[in-house]
Chain A
């Protein structure tokens, strides 16, 4: 009982803080000194990042850069060793009630309640989110329809294809109309048709003023979708800002990215692989 009272008391104080912070610049996410270590390996080494609200934000980086770890910590699914994260002014770890109702998450790997059908999963999530039954039903039907899952709504999620899983995952993340949506590799392994569907839904969602933060290592995709980009490599932020700022003079985001993570021209130069000319001889 005691703990519940504390929980109830906490938001009020923090809300006051948030209101005080709000007038400056509207930030969707504020990350300060975020640090995570797994044994010897440092996955995220002191990230400071402010993500502007109402934008389509791309978090890009090579495999193992710490994107998933960062997103897990930001969404409260992984405890950081140190550092703070605030989402629309609320501290993720001190004020989970305010944060969890305001964010939607689509984690990587995406294991869901596989033995529920798509519709059952949405109904269940709606109840966990405290939505009224009729409202859940209405939203679930629309989401299933828009995401082209209508014909598969009574199939168990375990029998879904990768694209369908990403779409039902997106539906569960959108069901409670969050202010900020975090998506970890939402387009990985997704067929072009599903990808276009997901894209359409996300664009419509950001147009309404919400924030989407998604991670990817497909630069063309990030370039075509995002307004704002943060480049992550070896657990640190290498660049941040609007797409144009990060791209700079480079011809494409891909080139700017390779330059930033220090991989530019590695394959094309030097005398390694000098035997590789297709000549066939030894």
Chain B
């Protein structure tokens, strides 16, 4: 397949086949000799010495990639099991998708399905390196900067190497399904044979080019911060995909995709797949144009990649660069807000808590999932036919737990807090400010979601009781969050992807579970009030739940602060020890 896959470099790619086969058994030690060309078994195959280095890399890189894959099997049993399971699942999923696409053959909207599939694949490949920078070590060309390689030969070698792996196989399976679903008749099969490698290589070249262009970002702190967010984006993206799938599964749901397909038909790499369809329908001229668009996109991606490679390898190492390019600019993002916050410790702590919600990747993930899932769940439930304004309690619950393990979120910067917290009053102000910061976002957000969902579900009459319950729940969770922060602090490691330091996992799980349970129990009076008013038919009094809920949550918060702030002062060293682990 790789033979057909290098049209622009056909001449260069054909030559390595010989030395590769010959060098194969001789293992990687062959490489240094390869540049010398003196003691190779078949040196006369290439008379021009400068071309010799260009032939070797492709084989070396493919072998390197294979070795990396093989080494995936040489880990501990647990990791090996995960690795193998991932491969099997990916292949299984790929084959099922292939079969599913084949089943669509002849369906009137088949093109509307396969074109988005190809587009999604390309999008995935383009975005993936940004979220999994450590996923593929061969992606990092700065590791190769010391080797005497020219960008052009590196592009060929790295592109060939990137054909090896689970991702490319999975992509190939899907693209096979896509082109086979629309291919009818010999001419379209011929076009399919061209379109398939074209689309696959475009995906791979795009991924490589994006990774290379962003390598500075990916190896920097900002890149690592971004990677922490990836899980969240994927989870939320999967939810949207899920919703989309449900929409499509409805009768005639596929027609929804028609407008998208109209556009994608002329966008690479979907245009290559569309060319197969056009050929099958006998419209050869558009087919040719569509193929040309994809080929041009591939060439463009390769050109971009080669250009960034050249620039990257002839400029200083990424690790020394940040010091030079720093542009000191005042960070005034929350300045407007800061002016509105109260003065003194309260304002300073609120400002820092809100800044951390934006700047610290792990805190940001917590906030973003609270805000995102809080709005997503009511939508998903509504689509699944479980619409109810009470679904807005999800947002209250998810935002309420943001106050849990507050000091763990500080990591060991907590010693600064500990060294300035001397009295119960200090602790009270500190905890109250953190609670206010969470409430500052959570109260309007929960209110907005509750009001919106009450109106959208056509039951504005339920608004007071639901809002009362939601705000009451929020208050209760904030109150239990204070207790959890004081009595069950645990460390959140800054560097690794883990959210709990080793050995503290059960503590974290238990504290959140107990907190949730306590939250539910503490909310019982509110729920009981609603149930009682509803069963006794006193619907006209249901509005009372709103003031009751708000007051209940408020009192819970005040009591928690009064009760636990003095405990915090006496527990400061223990809290510090707990959050400094890992």
Contacts and interface: CB of A to CB of B under 8 A. Distances in A.
Interface of A: 1-4, 7-8, 75-79, 96-97, 99-101, 103, 105, 107, 109, 111-117, 120, 123-130, 133, 151-156, 158-159, 172
A4 B569 CA distance: 10
A58 B518 CA distance: 51
Nearest to B411: A111
A155 B328 contact: yes
Contacts of B331: 117, 120, 154
A112 B348 contact: no
B328 A153 contact: yes
Contact of B425 (A4, A100, A111, A155): A4
A75 B419 contact: yes
A128 B348 contact: yes
A115 B359 contact: yes
B360 A115 contact: yes
Contacts of B412: 109, 111
A7 B573 contact: no
Given A125-B416, A151-B328, A77 B422 contact: no
B418 A77 contact: yes
A8 B424 CA distance: 9
Contact of B343 (A8, A129, A133): A133
A158 B322 CA distance: 13
Contacts of B424: 3-4, 7
Contacts of A99: 422
B135 interface: no
The 4 closest A-B pairs by CB, nearest first: A127-B348, A3-B566, A128-B420, A115-B359
Contacts of B413: 111-114
Interface residues of B, number: 45
A4 B423 contact: yes
A149 B415 CA distance: 22
B497 to A, nearest CB: 17
15 contacts: A3-B424, A4-B424, A4-B428, A76-B572, A76-B573, A77-B573, A77-B576, A79-B574, A96-B422, A112-B416, A113-B413, A120-B331, A123-B348, A128-B417, A154-B328
A138 B356 CA distance: 25
A101 B423 CA distance: 11
B5 interface: no
A3 B424 CA distance: 7
A8 B422 CA distance: 11
A152 B331 CA distance: 12
B34 to A, nearest CB: 35
Nearest to A151: B328
Contacts of B37: none
A172 B413 CA distance: 12
Contacts of B562: 1
B139 to A, nearest CB: 24
A73 to B, nearest CB: 9
